[in-house]
Amino acid sequence: MMDAKEYLKKMSAELDGPIKSYIGDEEPKVLMDASKQYPYAGGKRMRPAMAVACCRAVGGDASKAVPLAVAIEYIHNFTLIHDDLMDGDEKRRGMTTIHVGYGMPTAVLAGDALFAKAYQIIAGLDVPAEKMRDTLQYVSKAVWDLARGQQMDVNNEGQIVSEEVYLETIKLKTSVLFAAAAAGGAIIGGASEEQVKAINEYAIELGLGFQMYDDYLGIAGDSSKTGKSVGNDIRKGKCTCMVTHTISVLKDEALLKEFKSILGNLDATDEQCARAKQIMQDAGSIDYNLNLARQKVENAIAKISFLPESEDKEFMIALARYAVDRDV
């Protein structure tokens, strides 16, 4: 089986140049610097790699999809800048976040600027205008949904929501941008409407698995690798699938009360967080979450069975499995 991580690295290296080519030396410098910081610093580049792979997997010319890949990466980074501001996070990928480094106004503007630049790039796609329009429709709907998902996430914090609401939230917050990358790449590559729909669904399912695994890493991951302090999600009262599952299966009233008293308690000690994790583990919730994440990924893979065999199809499959099998 293909090593998705290695292949991603290779694609990343190819995408790095284009990603660094769209923001010039315009004034004011501080805005350019702030806008460049996240996209230039790297990351997994899963979304842009997906755009290119989906284009090629349907027989398209990958070079036509590269600008879309850049646009999607800029949109992803615009949302990271604004999310970090909203969440008050001070570090990302070992860097100082934009609002901490440059102040709130510049963080708001750097996000807005990256968003605008993404659309400038899409407007300039070297494809027939009709394809550009179809791509634009996917992407702009995705950003609308992203804002909805992020607002739901804000609303959910400290609340116990149903698994259904949780899944809808992560679909909007995470899946739709993967889906815009994948569908956009496929459109540019010349896929039929039906194929675009299937590839869109592939990415939606992959995104769900990705986010559920991300939640898992937040609880059970190696914090020296993830950079996330274990217990953080518990203290913030983040309503993950693990939490909804524990709440729904736990019959022991005292245990349930204890669990709820730790969840969302900003002053919870490391011991208390470990205890909450243990309760979730004993309730089978961590396994439940992992199994559901893997199931989503298998659903994703099933959606693209129609694609002819190719290295890019292999990568799409490997990327889906990687989404739920990584340490960072």
User: In the complex, which residues of this chain contact a copy of itself (CB under 8 A)?
Assistant: 26-28, 30-31, 79, 82, 85-86, 104-106, 108-113, 115-117, 119-120, 122-124, 128-130, 132-133, 136-137, 139-141, 143-144, 146-148, 150-152, 154-155
Nearer to a copy of itself, 111 or 221 (CB): 111
Nearer to a copy of itself, 27 or 194 (CB): 27
Nearer to a copy of itself, 119 or 197 (CB): 119
Q: Closest approach of Cβ 99 to a copy of itself, in Å?
A: 10
Beta strands 91-92 and 95-96, pairing class? antiparallel
- The alpha carbon of residue 54 and the mean position of all alpha carbons in its chain are separated, in whole angstroms, by 17
d(CA 217, CA 222): 7
Q: Which of 146, 145, 176, 170 is nearest to 156 (CA)?
A: 170
Nearer to a copy of itself, 85 or 279 (CB): 85
Nearer to a copy of itself, 143 or 297 (CB): 143
- Residue 237, sorted as left (phi over 0), alpha (psi -120 to 50) or beta, turns out to be left
Q: Closest approach of Cβ 202 to a copy of itself, in Å?
A: 23
Q: Closest approach of Cβ 245 to a copy of itself, in Å?
A: 23
Helix spans in 160-227 (H) = 163-170, 176-188, 193-220, 223-226
**Contact between residue 238 and residue 215 where contact means Cβ atoms under 8 Å apart:** yes
d(CA 213, CA 217): 6
Q: Closest approach of Cβ 177 to a copy of itself, in Å?
A: 11
How many CB atoms are closer than 10 A to CB 3? Answer: 11
Nearer to a copy of itself, 113 or 316 (CB): 113
Q: Closest approach of Cβ 283 to a copy of itself, in Å?
A: 29
Q: Closest approach of Cβ 225 to a copy of itself, in Å?
A: 28
